[in-house]
Amino acid sequence: MAGAPGVGPGAGGGGGAAAGLKTYFKTPEGRYKLQYEKAHSAVLHYSHGGKTVSQLTVAYLKEKPASQGSQPSTPSASSGMRSAAARLLGTGNGSKALSFGGGNGASRAVAGSSRVGGGLGTPTGLGGSQGGTNYDGKGTYIVFNAADTLFISDLNSQEKDPLKSIHFSNSNPLCHAFDPEAKEGHDLIIGMGSGDVYSMSLRQQLQDPGRKPVAALHYNKGDKDVSPNGSRCTSVAWVPEREGIFVVSHSDGNLYVYDKNKDGNTDCTFPAVKDQSQFMVAHAKSSKSNPVARWHICQGSINAISFSPDGAYLATVGRDGYLRVFDFSKEQLIFGGRSYYGALLCCTWSSDGKYLLTGGEDDLVQVWGMDDRKIVAWGEGHNSWVSGVAFDSYWSPPSSDGNGENVYRFGSVGQDTQLLLWDLALDEIVVPLRHPSSASPTFSSGSPSTHWDNACPPTGVLQPSPRMRDVPKLSPLVAHRVHADPLSGMVFTSESILTICREGLIKIWVRPEQSENNQQSNSSEFALGPASKDRAITSSNKASSSSFKKLPPVLVT
Amino acid sequence: MVMGASGSKLEKALGDQFPEGERYFGLENFGNTCYCNSVLQALYFCIPFREQLLEYYANNKTPGDVEENLLTCLADLFMQISQAKKKTGVIAPKRFVQRVKKQNELFRSYMHQDAHEFLNFLLNELVDILEKESSAAKDSPQSSSPEKAPNGPVQPLANGVKKEPPVTLVHKNFQGILTNETRCLRCETVTARDETFLDLSVDIEQNSSITSCLKNFCSTETLNAEDKFFCDKCCSLQEAQKRMKIKKAPHILVIHLKRFKYIEQLGRYKKLSYRVVFPMELKLSNTSDDVDTEYSLFAVVVHVGSGPNHGHYVSLVKSHNHWLFFDDENVEMVEEQTLQTFFGSSHEYSGNTDHGYILFYEGLGGKS
C-alpha cells in the first residue's frame, strides 16, 4: 500500500506544541498560507479538559434589506402568517433575554401579541438605535463552540479573539448550523448536550453587548420514550429549500424534525421504539406539536447528518458504521453502506449532489456514488480517525487537463492532526473485477445478506462492508499536519480553507490566488447563494489557475 | 471470603437489565496488586476463555491427587466468582496472588508491577501446565480422564524440525501466527519464518490510531548500509526488505501498547502519554484467509499514573452490551463514550494520566 506523502513531517516524540507545524502547504495550484488564527484565549489553557469537541460553522450575513420586511416573492396567505409570526417571535422583546427554563409558550405568545398594539414602531425604533453598530451590515462570521460557550468571530478580521461569546448555563453547546437562506427571524440553531435546541438570530447576537443569548427560542423534543438522562444532540441542519425546517440528530439514534415557526416547548409523544435497529418514522399527532416528526434511524448514536444541496436527500452516519441516504420528502431509505469497520463520524455531499464522502474509525475516507448507490473508492492516508470531510466547490481542475467535468477536489481532517487534500478523477478509477462464482460469505452484522458486487444494488438496501482488496484506493494529493491537537472539522470558502481542532483553535489557510493578489478580494466579499453563483466563482478560479499543471492522482487498486 | 455489602448500587443501576447468571465482583488489593486484578477481570470477561478453563478444570479435577498450581488457583478464583450466591460483591484473590508470588520472584516485592508482564507470565505459565498435563495423559493411557483430540487441523510450522506442541485452550483462544518475510533485493528470493504470538506489542505515535500502529507493525523495513542481509542464494550480504505479516489471526486479539520507553539519557523508563484512539470494532487482514477477521473490543486495561514504577491499573469490561469499570474492589457501570477518555493526551504535560494499555478484542464468528 502506498503511504501518505507527507509535507512537513510532524515533530517526533510529540511535545512541543508549535515546533513542528508549518505555516503553509503546497498543492499543484500553489501555496496555501496560514493567514489568521481564531480562538478564545481561555480555551487554549485547556480549562475545560476536552469535555466537548469544538465544531465550526461559517455564516454569511447578507446586507440588510433597505425596506424592513420586504420579501422577494409574493407571499401566500399562510406564508404571510408565518412570516408575521416569525417576525414577532424573532424580534420581540429584543432588549432582554427570554426565559429559558419555562415551557410557558402560551404566555410568551400573549406577550408577543401585546407588542402588536403598541409595537408598530418597534422595528423601526430598534433599527434606528442599532444603526451605529459595526456588525449590522454584511460579513462572514465563524461560529464555534468550546465548553459551555458559543463564540462568533469575524472571518476577515485579524483579531484572534472572538467578537461575541454566548454563555449557556445549563448545558454545553455541541453543534450548530446557519441558514443563509433565512428570510425572516432566526437563522442560527444550536444543539446542546442536554438534547435541547436553541434558535436565534445571528445578527441580533452580534448587536447585543451581553454574554447571554438574545431572543433565543428553546425547543425540546419532549419525547417520553427517551431515556431519563436525555440524549445529546450530535448534529443539526437546516433543510435546504424548506424555509424554517430544521433537523436534529441525537446519540440515541433518533432524529427530530422541527419547524422554527412553531412553539418549541409542546409536550408531544411518539410511540416507543420497539426494535432499536429498525428504521421508523413517527409523526406528531397534533398539528401544533413541535417536533413535527421523529425518525428512528439506527441503534446507537447518529454521529452526523448532511442534506444534499437541493434538500431532497438526507445522509446520516452512525455508531453502527452505516451511511444511510434517505429521500427526505418520501421518508424512505434510498441506499446505504458500511464502513470497513468501526463507526462513521462525518459525512458531506458534493455540490452537484452526485457524490458523498464519509469518514470514521477505520482511518479511511469513503467516496459513495449517488447514481450507482454504492461505494466508489476508499481514501487511505490518515493515521487516526477521520473527523471532517468536505468537497471544495470553489476548485476546478486546470483546463489543460481536459478532464474538467469529472474531477473533484475534496479535503479531510482527522484526529491525527492532519489535513489531507484529494483529487477524485472518476474516469481513472478502476473497479476491480470480481469472479461471479465466488462464494458469498454470511454476514453477521445484522445487515441484509446481500452480496457486494459491481451491479447497482436495489433501492432501500444497506450494503455490508466490502473487503479491503475489493475497493479502489485513493492516495492524498497533500498531507499536512496543521494543528497540535486532533482536528474536528474543516470548511472550504471561496478564499481559504478553515480547519478547527477539538480544543477550539481555528486556522484560516488562504488560497494561492488570494495570497498572490495581495488579498484584494477580501474587500469584495459578498454573500454566496445558490449553485449557479458557485459555478461562476469556479469559472473565475479556473481562469486564474490555468497556468498550473495538475498532477495525476495516485490510484492504488 | 466473599463480602457482599458493596455493589448493591450497581445492581440498582442495572435493574432489570442485570444479565442472567452473570456476576460482577471486585477484587481486593493486597498492596500494589492492581496489575493482577485488572488483568484478571479482563480474562474473566473473555467468555470463551473463562468457559473453557472452567470446563477443563471440572473435567480434570480429581480431589487430592492434583498438585496446586497457577491454573487451579485461577480456575478456583473464576469458579468463586461465577458461582457466588450474590450478584455483586468483593472477592479476595489471596490464594492466587500467593501462588503468583511463589512461582515468580519478579512479583514477590510489593512494588508496582507491569500488567503486560503479568499477563504474559500468566498465559505462558498456563500453557506449560496444560502441556505437561497433556503429556502426562498421553504417557498413561489408563488415566481416567482421556485427552480430548484438538479441534481442527494443527498448524504446521515452517521448520519441521521442532516438535509439535499440543493445542491447549490458551492457544485456541489467544495464539496467532506471524510471518517474517525477508526479500533479497538482488535475487528477489523471499525467506519466510513463522512465529507464534499470544499478544501483539505495538509501538505508538502521538495522535494516531490502533489501525495505523498495526499498519506500522506490519510495514516494510529496508536492510541496507551496515545492516545488510546475508542471502543464502547470493552467498553474500545484500540489501533486503523485511516485513511482518499476520498469517493466522487469533480468536482473541490482545494488543499491548508500548507506552513505556527506555530513555538512554535518563537511564530509566518513561511513560508515553500519547493519544492513540482505538475503535470498538477492528479488522485484520491475514495472508492465509481470503477474508478479513472482524473483532469487537471487550476489555481495556488502563494504566493510571505518570510513570512505570508508580501508578495504578484499572480495567473496563464489556458484558452483555454494557460497560463496567473495575477499580480493584469497586465496580460501576459506565457509558461506552467513557472509553474515549482513556485514549491518551494530545499534550505531553496534560493532567490526564489514564491511558489505555492493553486492549482485548474478540473475533466475531462470521468473517466479512
Cell 481555528 found at: A506
Taking CB atoms within 8 Å and a gap of at least 24, the contacts of A457-462 are A457/A335, A457/A373, A457/A374, A459/A334, A459/A335, A459/A373, A460/A332, A460/A333, A460/A334, A460/A335, A461/A335, A461/A336, A462/A322, A462/A324, A462/A333, A462/A335, A462/A336, A462/A337, A462/A338
User: Closest chain A residue to B346 measured between Cα atoms?
Assistant: A485
Cell 486564474 found at: A544
| B174 in a structural domain | yes
Give the Cα separation of A462 and A531 in Å (integer).
30
Q: CA B284, B285, B286, B290 torsion: positive or negative?
A: positive
Is B34 in the active site?
Answer: yes
Q: A526 falls in which pLDDT band (50, 70, 90)?
A: very low
Nearest to B292 among A385, A442, A468 (CB): A468
CB B127 within 8 A of CB B43: no
Average pLDDT over residues A108-112: 24
B79-to-A364, B44, B122 alpha-carbon distances in Å: 43, 10, 18
- Asked if B366 lies within 8 A of A442 by C-beta distance, the reply is yes
CB A473 within 8 A of CB A428: no
Q: What is the average pLDDT value for chain A, to the nearest integer?
A: 69
Q: pLDDT for A407-429, tens place per residue? A: 898 999 999 999 999 988 876 66
| B324 in a structural domain | yes
Q: B61 falls in which pLDDT band (50, 70, 90)?
A: low
| B8 in a structural domain | no
Q: Number of C-alpha atoms within 13 angstroms, CB side, residue B89?
A: 18
| B147 in a structural domain | no
CA B219 to chain centre: 23
Q: Is the pLDDT of residue A86 over 50?
A: no
Strand B221-223's sheet: what is its strand order?
A: B190-197, B176-184, B240-248, B221-223
Q: Is the pLDDT of residue B282 over 80?
A: yes
- Contact A252/B at CB under 8 A: no
Smallest CA–CA distance, residue A465 to chain B, in Å, is 7
Task: Please enumerate in sequence order all residues whose Cβ is within 8 A of that of B171, keeping only pairs 6 or more positions apart, or say none.
Answer: B127
In percent, the amount of chain A with pLDDT more than 70 equals 62
**H-helix or E-strand containing A463?**
strand A461-463
Q: Is the pLDDT of residue A497 over 50?
A: yes
Task: Please enumerate in sequence order all residues whose Cβ is within 8 A of that of B270, keeping only pairs 6 or more positions apart, or say none.
Answer: B260, B261, B262, B263, B307
Q: pLDDT for B206-232, tens place per residue? A: 899 999 999 888 888 888 887 888 898
| B152 in a structural domain | no
Cell of B154: 494443527
CATH number at residue B219: 3.90.70.10
Helix B47-60 to helix B34-44 angle (10° resolution) is 90
CB B259 within 8 A of CB A14: no
Q: Chain B interface residues facing chain A, Cβ-Cβ under 8 Å?
A: 205-209, 211-212, 215, 272, 274-275, 277, 279-283, 285, 291-292, 294, 346-348, 350-352, 364-368
What is the gyration radius of the CA atoms in chain B, in angstroms?
Answer: 22
The more confidently predicted of residues B124 and A213 is B124
Q: What is the pLDDT of residue B19?
A: 87
Helix B115-139 to helix B70-82 angle (10° resolution) is 110
Q: Is the pLDDT of residue A384 over 60?
A: yes
Cis previous bond, A291, omega within 30: yes
Q: What is the average pLDDT value for chain B, to the nearest integer?
A: 81
Smallest CA–CA distance, residue A442 to chain B, in Å, is 7
User: Closest chain B residue to A232 measured between Cα atoms?
Assistant: B337
- Domain of residue B85 covers 18-133+169-363
**H-helix or E-strand containing A125?**
helix A122-129
Q: Is the pLDDT of residue A96 over 90?
A: no
CB A394 within 8 A of CB A494: yes
| B95 in a structural domain | yes
Q: Is the pLDDT of residue A278 over 80?
A: no
Give the Cα separation of A374 and B288 in Å (integer).
29
| B68 in a structural domain | yes
End-to-end alpha carbon distance in chain A: 9
CA A423 to chain centre: 21
Average pLDDT over residues B123-151: 66
- Asked if A361 lies within 8 A of B365 by C-beta distance, the reply is no
Q: How many CB atoms lie within 10 A of CB A527?
A: 13
End-to-end alpha carbon distance in chain B: 46
Label residue B67 exposed, middle or buried (CB < 10 Å: 0-12, 13-18, 19+): exposed
Number of domains in chain B: 1
Q: CA A450, A456, A458, A464 torsion: positive or negative?
A: positive
Q: Beta strands A164-167 and A149-154: pairing type?
A: antiparallel
Cell 460553522 found at: A57
List chain B residues with CB under 8 Å of A363: 209, 211-212
Q: What is the pLDDT of residue A381?
A: 95
Q: B176 falls in which pLDDT band (50, 70, 90)?
A: very high
- Contact A385/B at CB under 8 A: yes
List chain B residues with CB under 8 Å of A253: none
Q: What is the pLDDT of residue A157?
A: 81
Average pLDDT over residues B104-109: 74
* β partners of residue A7: A480
Cell of A256: 427530530
Task: Name the DSSP class of B339.
Answer: G
Q: Beta strands B208-209 and B276-277: pairing type?
A: parallel
Is B312 in the active site?
Answer: yes
Q: pLDDT for B284-333, tens place per residue? A: 876 665 678 889 999 999 998 888 766 889 999 999 887 999 998 889 88
| B13 in a structural domain | no
**DSSP assignment of B193-260:** EEEEESSEEE---TTEEHHHHHHHHT--EEE-GGG-EEETTTTEEE-EEEEEEEEE--SEEEEEE--E
CB A426 within 8 A of CB A410: no
CB B322 within 8 A of CB B17: yes
- Asked if A385 lies within 8 A of B291 by C-beta distance, the reply is no
CB A35 within 8 A of CB A508: yes
Give the Cα separation of A173 and A145 in Å (integer).
6
